[in-house]
Structure 1
Amino acid sequence: MPSPTLTHLQTALAKLTPLELAESAWDNVGLMAEAPEARDGKLAEGEARKVYLCIDLTTAVCSEALSDPSTTAILSYHPPIFRGLKSFTLANPLQASLLRCISSGVSVFSIHTAADNCVGSNNDFMASGLLQAAGVETDADGMVRPGQGKGSKALKEASSPPEGHEGAGHGRFVDLLEGGGRKLTRDAAVQAVKKRLGLKYIQAAWSSSGPAEIRTIAICAGSGGSVLGGVKADLYLTGEMSHHEILAANAAGSHVFCCNHTNTERPWLAFFAPRLQAAMNETAAGDGASAPKYEVVLSKEDKEPLQVV
Structure 2
Amino acid sequence: MARVEVRGLTKHFGSEVAVAGIDFSAPEGHFVTLLGPSGCGKTTTLRCLAGLERPDAGEIYIGDQCVAAPRQNIWVPPEKRNIGMVFQSYAVWPHLTVFDNIAYGLRVRGIGRSEIAKRTQETLDLVGLSGFADRYATQLSGGQQQRVSLARALAYNPSVILFDEPLSNLDAKLREHMRLELTRLQQRLGITAVYVTHDQSEALVMSDTIIVMNHGRILQQGAPEAIYAEPASRFVADFVGVTNLLPVRVAEAAGATGVAVAETAWGGAAVHSMPRAYGVAGGT
More strand by share: 2
Length-normalised TM-score, structure 2: 0.27
Q: Which has the larger radius of gyration?
A: 2
TM-score by length of 1: 0.25
